[in-house]
Structure 1
């Protein structure tokens, strides 16, 4: 496995984790159970799961009105896209 394909797999796994974490938190909120802290959800996004987090925000309508998520999840995507471009061009 090349470094590039390893990174792609990493982002794929992190996106699945981001999606599942958001979906689970939404279900817990509906059931009035213990929730995942917002800081944890945002950390998952910044560690590479932002695409999955954003997808879950739209599909399960979770955290779409929360300013932190409206700002930081797209910012995480932009940050990672910039790092990808810089890495590919080097």
Structure 2
């Protein structure tokens, strides 16, 4: 059953806030957790005081969280789950094949592909942890930390996390900075390879 409520808190950087249900004067209800991914109109950022309609589901800890959130006056849209494309995986596999080739032909020390692999696994795990914390309104990982991990070589794991667990995949400023860190990391790798030739 859909409910009506008002957004009482919103943190745009973290992508979550809270909705106060609008009930009859004699009724009381706790605030409902709202995550950006539950909002159907992704092109519009929530504002405190806006009226929304939503359905309620329970998170793994049994707390209420809003689902299928629509702004008042907008039609509810039923969406099928977005399926991630295969290009991120192909790009990451291609990158690691190039690293393996560099090692095979003696252009790279084995620690370079191994380092990328280890940092990618750690970065992917950090994204997964941060997404879980966002859902549960827990302690988040700083965006600067995620970007630093991408910069030092964890970007393949970050790219997979953004596209397959759908975390940090919508915020434009974060994505632009991520692209810059990837380009800088690859440029540094190319310089490293060319300096040993």
**TM (normalized to structure 2)?**
0.42
CA deviation after TM superposition for structure 1 residue 68, in Å: 3.0
Tell which has more relative contact order, 1 or 2 (C-alpha 8 A, sep 6+). 1
Distance 2:151 2:190 in 1: 17
Structure 2: gaps (5+ residues): 1-105
Distance 2:146 2:124 in 1: 10
Size of the alignment, in residue pairs?
Answer: 89
Alignment of 1:1-90 (within 5 A): 4-90=109-195
Distance 2:189 2:148 in 1: 19
| Deviation >3 Å, runs of 4+ | none
Structure 1: gaps (5+ residues): none
**TM (normalized to structure 1)?**
0.85
CA deviation after TM superposition for structure 1 residue 10, in Å: 1.0
Please identify the structure whose Cα radius of gyration is greater: 2
Q: Mean Cα displacement is larger for which, 21-30 or 59-68?
A: 59-68
More strand by share: 2
Instruction: Determine helix, strand or coil for the equivalent of 2:109.
Output: helix
